[in-house]
Structure 1
Amino acid sequence: MKKHFAVTLLSLGSFSFTFGQTAMYQSTRDRINFSGLSVPTNGGSVLYGFDGNPGKLLGTVYLDSVWQAGFVRFYGKIAPKTDSLAGVPIRLNLQQQEVEVRSNDRSVKVAKAPMIRYFLVNNNAGGVSEFINVREFRGEADNLPGFFEVIANGPVQLLRHHFITVKKGNYNPALNVGSKDDELIKKAAWYVVKEKKAGKFAPGKKAILDLMADKQPQVEAFLKEKKPDLKSDSGLASVFAYYATL
């Protein structure tokens, strides 16, 4: 015959206990005894608790964690005679959507996105990247934080919006499997702008021809002759630059 065991707890509230895979320490016993639960101490009854090792946060909040020389233009004056900073080390924090500026004494100042009209910063490819506040545009930009990176200028602008998502750890304490670590994942979405209105864009031949329908024969001939890589920044930028000349 199977034995049935029942434990009744009488207290002012209800208690929920979740048990993991590692043996409980004496400090845990003391806490439970204080609450009115008697913990079995014989070898046949072992109460388990969670492993106390916390997970880590992996990844970086920065588009580029290296300090790069930059130029920052503000919406208002930051000193009596200037509204900009030039030649200063900066980096973009994607999680907070703010620009960090390092001063000569190596202290770090923070400029929130609403303060900045645009900024330029050296990039790892040996060029300069331009970022414009999303407030400068309408349409779908109204629901975005931070900045657009400018990939191509002209009557139709090609922009990219960088952001971060958090991939949560999938640790299962009952099975002691998975990862406790959360991870920051950098992502980007394409946008095009016509007459200051921004809209999402999925780069590809059909999308480009639809976007540039007023010059479709010329653009189609350009794509056929030059065969730009529409998966690369430079390839896409070349198409938008050509369209700007028509």
Structure 2
Amino acid sequence: MKYFLSILAALTCSVGAVKAQLSEGTKVGVATGKGLNTDRSGVFWSSPTESSNVIGDFYIDSLWHEGSVKLNAPMTQFGGMESDSLAGITIRYNVLNDELEVLAKKNDVRVIKSSYIKSFETKNSGTSQRFVSIKSLTPDTGLQGVCEVLSSGKLTLIKHYKPKITKPNYNPGFGTGQKNTIVRLDSDYYVIANSKPEKFNAGKKAVLALMADKEKEVEAYIKENKATLKSDLDLKNVFDFYNKK
């Protein structure tokens, strides 16, 4: 009960703050199994809703992880106190509905829309991942939602997540096609330099061109570490090496 009340207190905000617009996922009628957000006593609240005609992937990671959240601005919380941070909570990010789900207790899920979030971190087996609102990183972009920050510095490498929605195309006359709405998680790499994001197709040639001012050192690093540049970790390590030189 104490744990539940602490989560309830952390997520209690002003009534006006929770009247967010529906996400694209909600607009197309795609449910994630956690339902629509409703304003209940000024709390970010989610009531379960099942859908039998939607399949696929909705989360960056469907497992719950311990994490922390940084809000865009201080919110009035339980007792009249204001804070822009939440810590020691259990979270996962729903890419389709563009919202962070918070597990208050078993079968009790609250949500925070991404428009209120500046950043959040998750911890898993001793490692952490940092996610940032892409608008806070680069305001003048058409990109929406959050991105994972893989490396920060002169060249900031991010991984931007997005839902790929395939609508039903079932033809009852011929009995062919797909009856379900299919959601697939998609992502792209972007490099931010001077506040401008550019889509990045990972590969040795692209990396060396991007890091031309330190090409020899970077090429030697790639060779020494046998980096294939086909994984987030490989790319992170190379960009970290460049940003620290």
Q: Common fold, TM-score beyond 0.5?
A: yes
Instruction: Find the aligned partners of 1:169 and 1:163 in 2 and give their Cα distance.
Output: 19
Q: How does 1:39-188 map to 2 (within 5 A)?
A: 56-78=53-75, 79=77, 80-104=81-105, 107-123=108-124, 126-138=126-138, 142-188=141-187
State which structure, 1 or 2, has the greater radius of gyration over its C-alpha atoms: 1
Over the aligned positions, Cα root-mean-square deviation in angstroms equals 2.1
1:142-177 superposed Cα distances (whole Å, 9 cap, x missing partner): 101111101122221110011111122332222112
Aligned to 1:12: none
Aligned to 1:45: none
Whichever structure has more strand as a proportion of its residues is 2
Contact 1:98-1:110 at 8 Å conserved across structures: yes
Pair 84,105 (structure 1): closer, same or farther in 2 beyond 3 Å: farther
Q: 1:137: Cα distance to partner?
A: 2.6
Contact 1:137-1:197 at 8 Å conserved across structures: no
Secondary structure (helix, strand or coil) at the match of 2:241 reads helix
Aligned to 1:20: none
Q: Which structure 2 residue ranges, 5 or more long, are not aligned?
A: 1-50
Instruction: Find the aligned partners of 1:220 and 1:131 in 2 and give their Cα distance.
Output: 29
Instruction: Find the aligned partners of 2:205 and 2:238 in 1 and give their Cα distance.
Output: 13
Instruction: Find the aligned partners of 1:208 and 1:105 in 2 and give their Cα distance.
Output: 45
Secondary structure (helix, strand or coil) at the match of 1:83 reads strand
Matched, 1:232 2:223: no
Pair 55,88 (structure 1): closer, same or farther in 2 beyond 3 Å: closer
Aligned to 1:208: 207
Instruction: Find the aligned partners of 1:126 and 1:95 in 2 and give their Cα distance.
Output: 27
Aligned to 1:34: none
Q: Percent identity?
A: 36
Aligned residues: 191
Secondary structure (helix, strand or coil) at the match of 2:216 reads helix
Instruction: Find the aligned partners of 1:65 and 1:55 in 2 and give their Cα distance.
Output: 18
- The residue identity in structure 1 corresponding to 2:100 is V
1:163-195 superposed Cα distances (whole Å, 9 cap, x missing partner): 111122332222112321221111111011112
Instruction: Find the aligned partners of 1:132 and 1:161 in 2 and give their Cα distance.
Output: 10
Aligned to 1:36: none
Instruction: Find the aligned partners of 1:178 and 1:55 in 2 and give their Cα distance.
Output: 17
Q: Under a length normalisation based on structure 1, what TM-score does the superposition of the two structures give?
A: 0.71
Instruction: Find the aligned partners of 1:151 and 1:245 in 2 and give their Cα distance.
Output: 14
Instruction: Find the aligned partners of 1:105 and 1:224 in 2 and give their Cα distance.
Output: 48
Pair 88,234 (structure 1): closer, same or farther in 2 beyond 3 Å: same
Pair 81,176 (structure 1): closer, same or farther in 2 beyond 3 Å: closer
Moved more, 103-112 or 57-66: 103-112
Q: 1:126: Cα distance to partner?
A: 4.9
Instruction: Find the aligned partners of 1:96 and 1:75 in 2 and give their Cα distance.
Output: 19
Instruction: Find the aligned partners of 1:121 and 1:166 in 2 and give their Cα distance.
Output: 26
Q: 1:218: Cα distance to partner?
A: 1.3
1:69-97 superposed Cα distances (whole Å, 9 cap, x missing partner): 11000011123242111010111111121
- The residue identity in structure 2 corresponding to 1:245 is K
Q: 1:55: Cα distance to partner?
A: 7.1
Q: 1:115: Cα distance to partner?
A: 0.8
